[in-house]
């Protein structure tokens, strides 16, 4: 009689299941190298920690405006001016509890139940699961090496034949592939969406972590684009659950009303800390330099141990490796890798129900010494 709803029947996030299994082995005394979750090992910037401490000691932490505290919204507007040369009115900036809340707010504000929304495969699994839970229809389009793992207007043209598309969600740099769209490819896609009345949602959570391409925000191309971003990755603040959105004018009030009702406001302490984090560029660039050397190490070392089919790692902190030479079951391969070597990595099936069985994602957000050790263990395992 008392059953869970059908809408709650979404897939688990396998990366988190791998993390749980790795934690169990660690508790038994095994040495584990965590390359499964996309989480910086560095703490939040010092200024952010200090601002939070001061707020805790002197402040009464309370609810804030649903759209976020004014100093943070002002600092975010400055960030767009300084880093992208784009003027954004503060009133179009809203603070969220991580980008995860941003997706919920964007989907609810822009779409009605039953609307079709395009995603790339491979892609971040929560997009599809949130859409499903909200009664929306994910239209998953496979991307591959022929378009450098990016979505193009031609993909959308094809998908429109099966019914109207109401939205497109793209991440650049992407998870799990780490690939980035060129400025021209992004502009083509955004302009296509604008011309066809399709909401373009740009997940820019990995901005700041670019190694090959110059990053561009979709905001530079269209004021209709919905920008979602977060303090979790570049700013090393996953646990603070804080992010932001830049909204088209007509979505500001709907998102404000939804946020007021769904969670009232983002935690005030996190908002205060995030404001300080935006000024900590020097410290964060030092963390990024660590990713750069991990990336170089793996791009050089993985082919030598037998993993030579890697996607272009333009940004983020992931290597998406083709393991088909060794296995056609990435879940089983990841399990064996974990149990035999202590390396925790995420099976591709998390990101790609079609071809993910042939891929494994390695996160290189961890310590350099751990990456070196991982190469040694992988070499023995794949031998």
Residues in a beta bridge with 231: none
| Residues in contact with 267: Cβ distance below 8 Å, sequence separation at least 6, in sequence order | 61, 97, 240, 241, 242
Q: Which of 32, 205, 298, 323 binds ligand PLP (CB under 6 A)?
A: 205
Is the dihedral angle over the CA atoms 187, 167, 159, 175 positive or is it negative? positive
- How far apart are CB 293 and ligand PLP at their closest, in Å? 22
| Residues in contact with 105: Cβ distance below 8 Å, sequence separation at least 6, in sequence order | 94, 96, 245, 255, 258, 259, 262
- How far apart are CB 28 and ligand PLP at their closest, in Å? 27
- How far apart are CB 378 and ligand PLP at their closest, in Å? 23
| Residues in contact with 185: Cβ distance below 8 Å, sequence separation at least 6, in sequence order | 148, 150, 152
Select from 193-201, 216-224, 230-238, 244-252 the region that touches ligand PLP (CB under 6 A).
Answer: 230-238
Q: CA neighbours within 13 Å on the CB side: how many for 45?
A: 26
Tokens standing for residue 239: 């646990």
Closest by CA position to 311, among listed 345, 370, 359, 381: 359
CA dist 101 and 114 (Å) reads 20
- Give whichever of 159 and 205 is closer to ligand PLP, judged by the CB atom: 205
Report whether 174 contacts 318 (CB < 8 A): no
Q: Does 243 sit near ligand PLP (CB under 6 A)?
A: yes
Question: What track of x and - describes contact with ligand PLP for positions 110 through 149 (by CB under 6 A)?
Answer: --------------x-------------------------
Q: Which of 230, 294, 330, 363 binds ligand PLP (CB under 6 A)?
A: 230
Q: Does 350 sit near ligand PLP (CB under 6 A)?
A: no
- How far apart are CB 380 and ligand PLP at their closest, in Å? 30
Burial (0-12, 13-18, 19+ Cβ within 10 Å), 289: exposed
Tokens standing for residue 321: 């490796």
Q: Which of 64, 175, 177, 224 binds ligand PLP (CB under 6 A)?
A: 175
CA dist 309 and 325 (Å) reads 10
Question: What track of x and - describes contact with ligand PLP for positions 352 through 371 (by CB under 6 A)?
Answer: --------------------
- Give whichever of 75 and 316 is closer to ligand PLP, judged by the CB atom: 316
- How far apart are CB 37 and ligand PLP at their closest, in Å? 8
Q: Does 202 sit near ligand PLP (CB under 6 A)?
A: no
- How far apart are CB 50 and ligand PLP at their closest, in Å? 22
- Compute CA distances 254 → 107, 171, 219, 222, 260, whole Å: 11, 24, 20, 20, 10
Q: Which of 74, 129, 182, 238 binds ligand PLP (CB under 6 A)?
A: 238
Q: CA triplet 357, 360, 363: central angle to 5 degrees?
A: 155
Q: Does 203 sit near ligand PLP (CB under 6 A)?
A: yes
| Residues in contact with 352: Cβ distance below 8 Å, sequence separation at least 6, in sequence order | 121, 122, 123, 142, 359
Residues in a beta bridge with 121: 142
- Give whichever of 175 and 179 is closer to ligand PLP, judged by the CB atom: 175
Applying CB under 6 A, the site for ligand PLP has a residue count of 13
Q: Does 179 sit near ligand PLP (CB under 6 A)?
A: no
115 secondary structure, DSSP code = -
Q: Does 171 sit near ligand PLP (CB under 6 A)?
A: yes
- Give whichever of 101 and 185 is closer to ligand PLP, judged by the CB atom: 101
Question: What track of x and - describes contact with ligand PLP for positions 94 through 113 (by CB under 6 A)?
Answer: ----xxx-------------
Q: Does 181 sit near ligand PLP (CB under 6 A)?
A: no
- How far apart are CB 235 and ligand PLP at their closest, in Å? 10
- How far apart are CB 230 and ligand PLP at their closest, in Å? 3
Q: Kindly list the residues in this chain that would bind ligand PLP in the complex (CB under 6 A).
A: 38, 98-100, 124, 171, 175, 203, 205, 230, 232, 238, 243
């Amino acid at each position: 009689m008392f059953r869970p709803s059908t809408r709650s029947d979404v897939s688990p996030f396998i990366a988190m299941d791998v993390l749980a299994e790795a934690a169990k082995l660690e508790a038994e005394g095994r040495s584990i190298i965590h390359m499964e979750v996309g989480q910086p090992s560095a703490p939040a910037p010092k200024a952010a920690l200090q601002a939070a401490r001061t707020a805790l000691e002197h402040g009464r932490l309370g609810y804030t405006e649903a759209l976020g505290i004014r100093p943070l919204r002002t600092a975010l507007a400055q960030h767009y001016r300084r880093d992208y040369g784009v003027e954004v009115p503060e009133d179009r900036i809203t603070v969220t509890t991580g980008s995860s809340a941003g997706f919920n707010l964007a989907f609810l504000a822009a779409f009605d139940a039953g609307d079709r929304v395009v995603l790339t495969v491979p892609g971040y699994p929560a997009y599809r699961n949130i859409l499903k839970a909200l009664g929306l229809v994910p239209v998953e389009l496979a991307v591959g090496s022929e378009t450098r793992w990016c979505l193009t207007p031609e993909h959308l043209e094809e998908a429109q034949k099966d019914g109207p598309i109401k939205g497109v969600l793209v991440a650049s740099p992407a998870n799990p592939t780490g690939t980035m769209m060129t400025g021209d490819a992004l502009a083509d896609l955004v302009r296509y969406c604008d011309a066809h009345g399709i909401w373009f949602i740009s997940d820019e959570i990995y901005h700041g972590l670019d190694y090959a391409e110059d990053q561009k925000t979709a905001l530079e191309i269209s004021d209709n684009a919905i920008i979602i971003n977060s303090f979790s990755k570049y700013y090393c603040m996953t646990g603070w659950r804080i992010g932001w959105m830049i909204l088209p004018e007509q979505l500001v009030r709907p998102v404000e009303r939804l946020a007021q009702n769904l969670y009232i406001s983002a935690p005030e302490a996190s908002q205060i800390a995030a404001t300080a984090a935006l000024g900590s560029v020097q410290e964060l660039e030092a963390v990024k330099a660590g990713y750069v050397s991990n990336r170089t190490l793996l791009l050089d070392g993985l082919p030598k141990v037998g993993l030579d089919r890697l996607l272009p790692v333009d940004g983020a902190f992931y290597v998406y490796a083709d393991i088909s030479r060794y296995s056609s079951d990435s879940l089983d391969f990841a399990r064996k890798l974990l149990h035999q070597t202590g390396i925790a990595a995420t099976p591709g099936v998390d990101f790609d129900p079609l071809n993910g069985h042939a891929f494994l994602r390695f996160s290189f957000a961890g310590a350099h010494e751990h990456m070196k050790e991982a190469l040694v263990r992988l070499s023995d395992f794949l031998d």
